[in-house]
């Protein structure tokens, strides 16, 4: 993947030409309004789309919704979706996360990259073949008009992969003839990023065309995760036999492996055009990161900076929207293409190939058609219905390969069996095609103080059969400031082919050791959620939101021990014939109950605009672990207690300051090879310790067009762990998070 340098040269040229020709009063360049430094809090008048698939005010929605607007994104220096989600109560973020999923997040105990539907301008952007949506700076966060985050099951209108909610990134457009903005950020260690947006409109009356053109490029020479803590990177902790010292690719001594640079990078190019109800767009999103992060040093090498995991996502869409007196229609066609870079590999300490690399490959093509109709027969009633069809071709992640995959062997939507060189033949190659057809209906009714939102969706998946997912929610406005809401919903997640056909095997002794084998008999997981909430919003700038929720997950898919079929794997040398595979464990269960309080107080001291936002989350869960491994009095990856406190003020007119405080209590690990009690007796970690992180952002408005910011994260240098990278035995004891990072940036805009 190459830096799109030419794109930014074009952008800079456009900036110069636009700036030189713009007719702007000189004094207006240096005039500050009260709005220039204000951090907009989302008011009840804000409209969102993703909660109900039609535009609604936040105040009238009986669901838990958060909206981060573009001004807040810029004020806080957010550059990735994980940065945004870290500011939302009750969401635990792991940065850098893992090579395959990138930055990770957990919502109410469930892995958000996998169980949350991610949209870009209301259209899905997550490929069907991935284990979870890859998250980095390849998404247009800096170009967002707003980011809508809906917490709770939304499968009733969006389908299977919206089990825990929806995240919708809405990109900016402009009503002006020309709007341009750009930003640059520099930081440690060896970090830089560039972002740009040019948008506007041309034409008159009914022949107006709106357009936008944007891009990002980000590079980090080394991820700051190499903590000098006893045991974390010590290979003897993971292999007490010291076998790694005999491996040909191991570098280091018995307790200290070589740790070289761990780089990462992201690129984005996008275009949008809107003409007379026809919307079209195209995006190229690229991500690349070091493949060893989060994995133990006895098996994976940290000495090779060139070892990476990288992919490219291409997305094209065409949408036609038309409205009549009481009816509106939206038709959209989209194509999503995912290709793993065929040079993606893990550098192993063992001699996997002549280069010491284990190469991987995966690809998918998703063609989707969606037709939606909204009818409002009377002002108090709105009916929204639609049908959707998705046709997908997948080549799930392959087995370890000794050399890069020949991309010509997998054309789009191919089902042809792949005969690959090597002793394992076609093991790990499972090209397939499948489809999903869905139909949904939603009723939105509002009269007086009562609002009802009721929806249901039926899907038929060619691999997993039919499913029905309802959602029922009500909101009652006690008065103009207070309301209560209740919700019940079901969510469904059809297994990704990444789990169904996960395959890993390698030669050992006189046969082959099968570590992970496919399981085509996987079936969908089902989530039941109940929620009750209370909102209070005063004109004085005081808002309070209280939520209590309960959810239960059944048919949980987890990596478990299985007995190999000798007829299917006659050459297996696995001890006792046991391997691992992803499967639904009917005896396992996930239950979580929680309370969350969000309090916002604006302009406590008006002269300096002193404000604060406080959130407190408490939860109690229980898991019956898969594989008869007993009961855990928590849910994996999710802390019992979380709190976030943001304090903001404007000490002088042109300076905005915000202080971020985040606390998480300990959380259970992601993978349990043994019963928790047995692990504790053996001295194996069951929990990842809690942490407190302090950060600060300073924003300086130099002119109305030019702003500078200084963002410092993890100021106290906390050394702590996030969500385990993969939930495999090969994970590190804990997944180290970024150390102290300081970034300086400039943002310029021109209307």
Full DSSP string of 361-398: --EEEEEEEEEEEEEEEETTEEEEEEEEEEEEEEEPPP
Bridge partners of residue 40, in order along the sequence: none
pLDDT of residue 673: 83
pLDDT of residue 174: 87
Residue of 731, 718, 734 lying closest to 297 (CA atoms): 731
SS3 33: coil
Q: How far apart are CA 79 and CA 741, in angstroms?
A: 13
- The answer to whether the beta carbons of residues 395 and 413 sit under 8 Å apart is no
- The answer to whether the beta carbons of residues 464 and 492 sit under 8 Å apart is no
SS3 27: helix
Q: How far apart are CA 683 and CA 677, in angstroms?
A: 10
Burial 200-217 (b: 16+ CB within 10 A, else e): bbeeeeeeeebbbbbbbb
pLDDT of residue 39: 33
pLDDT in tens, 7-47: 443 433 343 343 333 333 333 322 223 233 233 344 455 66
pLDDT of residue 21: 37
Helix (H) or strand (E) holding 531: strand 525-537
Q: How far apart are CA 317 and CA 336, in angstroms?
A: 9
- The answer to whether the beta carbons of residues 96 and 738 sit under 8 Å apart is yes
Residues above pLDDT 90, as percent of the chain: 73
Burial 411-438 (b: 16+ CB within 10 A, else e): eeebeeebebeeebeebbbbbbebebeb
Mean pLDDT rounded to a whole number for the chain: 89
pLDDT in tens, 569-595: 999 999 999 999 999 988 888 999 999
Q: Return the residue matching tokens 């180290």.
A: 736
341 secondary structure, DSSP code: -
The answer to whether the bond into 189 is cis (omega within 30° of 0) is yes
pLDDT of residue 424: 79
Cα separations in angstroms, 690 against 182, 594, 669, 671, 672: 38, 18, 12, 18, 19
pLDDT of residue 41: 40
Q: With a threshold of 0.95, does the pTM exceed it?
A: no
Q: How far apart are CA 499 and CA 639, in angstroms?
A: 26
Q: Which two tokens stand for residue 210?
A: 């709106």
DSSP symbols for 213-252: EEEEEEEESS-S-----TTTS-HHHH-TT-GGGGSTT--B
Q: How far apart are CA 261 and CA 32, in angstroms?
A: 44
Q: How far apart are CA 324 and CA 313, in angstroms?
A: 36
Q: Return the residue matching tokens 């109900």.
A: 52
What's the 3-state SS for 53-88?
CCCEEHHHCCCEEEEEEHHHHHHHCCCCHHHHHHCC
SS3 9: helix
State the pLDDT confidence band at 627, using cuts at 50, 70 and 90: confident
The stretch 437-457 carries a mean pLDDT of: 94
Q: Return the residue matching tokens 């392959």.
A: 398
Helix (H) or strand (E) holding 483: strand 482-493
Q: Return the residue matching tokens 């247009």.
A: 140
Is residue 310's pLDDT more than 80? yes
List the single range of 33-42, 177-186, 192-201, 742-751 with lowest mean pLDDT.
Answer: 33-42
* 327-340 and 264-275 beta bridge pairing: unpaired
Q: What structural domains and CATH numbers belong to the chain? A: 5-750 (2.40.170.20)
pLDDT of residue 461: 95
Q: Say if residue 44 is exposed, middle or buried (CB neighbours under 10 Å; 0-12, 13-18, 19+).
A: middle
Range among 48-62, 410-424, 581-595 rated most confident: 581-595
Q: 580: which residues sit within 8 A by CB, 6+ positions away?
A: 515, 516, 517, 559, 560, 561, 562
Q: How far apart are CA 712 and CA 185, in angstroms?
A: 12
Helix (H) or strand (E) holding 688: strand 687-688
pLDDT in tens, 701-749: 999 899 999 999 999 999 999 999 998 889 999 999 999 999 999 999 8
Q: Say if residue 281 is exposed, middle or buried (CB neighbours under 10 Å; 0-12, 13-18, 19+).
A: buried
pLDDT of residue 50: 64
pLDDT of residue 7: 40
Residues above pLDDT 70, as percent of the chain: 92
Return phi, psi of residue 388, to 5°.
Answer: -145, 155
Range among 46-55, 346-355, 644-653 rated most confident: 644-653
Q: 306: which residues sit within 8 A by CB, 6+ positions away?
A: none
Spell out where 379-478 has E strands: 381-395, 432-447, 450-461, 465-477
Bridge partners of residue 527, in order along the sequence: 491, 553
Bridge partners of residue 553, in order along the sequence: 527, 590
State the pLDDT confidence band at 332, using cuts at 50, 70 and 90: very high
pLDDT in tens, 244-295: 999 989 999 999 999 999 999 999 999 999 999 999 999 999 999 999 999 9
State the pLDDT confidence band at 123, using cuts at 50, 70 and 90: very high
Spell out where 109-263 has E strands: 110-111, 116-120, 123-124, 144-151, 165-171, 179-187, 191-202, 209-220
Q: How far apart are CA 97 and CA 108, in angstroms?
A: 18
Q: How far apart are CA 678 and CA 663, in angstroms?
A: 29
Q: How far apart are CA 611 and CA 39, in angstroms?
A: 10
The stretch 494-499 carries a mean pLDDT of: 93
Bridge partners of residue 56, in order along the sequence: 48
């Amino acid at each position: 993947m190459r830096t799109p340098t030419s794109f930014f040269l074009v952008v800079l040229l456009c900036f110069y030409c636009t700036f030189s020709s713009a007719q702007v009063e000189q004094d207006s360049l240096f005039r500050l309004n009260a709005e220039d430094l204000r951090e907009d809090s989302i008011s009840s008048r804000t409209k969102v789309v993703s909660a109900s698939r039609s535009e609604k005010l936040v105040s009238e929605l009986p669901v838990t919704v958060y909206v981060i607007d573009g001004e807040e994104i810029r004020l806080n220096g957010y550059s990735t979706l994980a940065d945004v989600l870290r500011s939302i109560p009750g969401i635990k973020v792991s940065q850098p996360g893992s090579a395959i999923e990138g930055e990770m997040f957990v919502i109410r105990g469930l892995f958000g990259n996998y169980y949350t539907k991610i949209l870009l301008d209301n259209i899905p952007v997550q490929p069907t073949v991935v284990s979870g949506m890859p998250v980095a700076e390849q998404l247009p966060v800096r170009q967002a008009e707003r980011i809508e985050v809906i917490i709770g099951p939304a499968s009733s209108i969006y389908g299977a992969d919206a089990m825990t909610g929806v995240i919708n990134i809405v990109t900016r457009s402009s009503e002006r003839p020309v709007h341009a903005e750009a930003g640059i950020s520099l930081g440690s260690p060896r970090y830089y990023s560039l972002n740009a947006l040019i948008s506007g409109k041309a034409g008159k009356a009914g022949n107006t065309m709106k357009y936008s053109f944007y891009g990002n490029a980000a590079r980090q020479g080394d991820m700051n995760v190499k903590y000098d803590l006893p045991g974390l990177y010590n290979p003897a902790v993971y292999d007490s036999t010291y076998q790694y010292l005999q491996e040909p690719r191991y570098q280091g001594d018995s307790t200290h492996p070589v740790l070289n640079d761990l780089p990462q990078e992201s690129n984005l190019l996008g275009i949008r055009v809107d003409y007379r109800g026809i919307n079209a767009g195209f995006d190229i999103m690229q991500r690349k990161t070091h493949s060893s992060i989060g994995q133990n040093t006895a098996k994976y090498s940290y000495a090779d900076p060139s070892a990476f995991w990288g992919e490219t996502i291409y997305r094209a869409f065409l949408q036609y929207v038309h409205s009549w007196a009481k009816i509106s229609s939206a038709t959209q066609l989209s194509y999503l293409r995912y290709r793993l870079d065929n040079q993606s590999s893990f550098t192993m300490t063992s001699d996997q190939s002549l280069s010491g690399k284990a190469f991987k490959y995966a690809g998918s093509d998703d063609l989707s058609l969606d037709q939606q109709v909204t009818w409002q027969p009377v002002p108090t009633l709105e009916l929204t219905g639609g049908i959707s069809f998705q046709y997908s071709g997948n080549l799930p992640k392959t087995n370890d390969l000794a050399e890069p995959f020949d991309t010509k062997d997998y054309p789009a939507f191919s089902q042809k069996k792949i005969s690959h060189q090597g002793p394992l033949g076609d093991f790990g190659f499972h090209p397939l095609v499948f489809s999903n057809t869905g139909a949904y209906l939603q009723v939105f009714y509002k009269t007086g103080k009562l609002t009802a939102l009721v929806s249901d969706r039926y899907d038929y998946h060619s691999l997993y059969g039919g499913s029905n997912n309802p959602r029922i929610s009500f909101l009652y406005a006690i008065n103009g400031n207070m309301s209560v809401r209740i919700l019940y919903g079901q969510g469904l997640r059809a297994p990704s082919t990444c789990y169904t056909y996960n395959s890993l095997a390698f030669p050992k002794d006189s046969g082959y050791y099968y570590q992970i084998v496919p399981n085509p008999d996987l079936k969908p997981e089902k989530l039941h959620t109940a929620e009750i909430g209370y909102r209070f919003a005063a004109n004085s700038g005081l808002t309070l939101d209280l939520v209590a929720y309960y959810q239960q997950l059944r048919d949980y898919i987890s990596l478990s021990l299985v007995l190999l079929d000798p007829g299917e794997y006659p050459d297996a040398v696995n001890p006792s014939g046991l391997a691992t595979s992803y499967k639904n464990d009917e005896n396992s269960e996930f239950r979580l109950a929680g309370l969350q309080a969000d309090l916002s107080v604006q302009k406590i001291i008006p002269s300096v605009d002193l404000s604060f936002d406080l959130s407190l989350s408490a939860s109690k869960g229980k898991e019956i672990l898969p594989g008869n491994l007993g009961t855990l009095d928590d849910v994996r990856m999710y802390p019992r207690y979380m709190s976030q406190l943001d304090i903001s003020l404007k000490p002088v007119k042109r300076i905005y300051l915000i202080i971020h405080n985040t606390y998480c209590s300990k959380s259970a690990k992601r993978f349990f090879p043994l019963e928790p009690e047995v692990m504790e007796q053996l001295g194996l970690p069951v929990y990842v310790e809690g942490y407190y992180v302090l950060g600060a952002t300073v924003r300086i408005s130099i002119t109305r067009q030019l702003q500078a910011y200084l963002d410092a994260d993890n100021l106290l240098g906390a050394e702590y762990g996030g969500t385990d990278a993969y939930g495999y035995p090969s994970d590190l004891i804990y997944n180290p998070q970024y150390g102290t990072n300081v970034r300086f940036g400039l943002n310029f805009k021109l209307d």
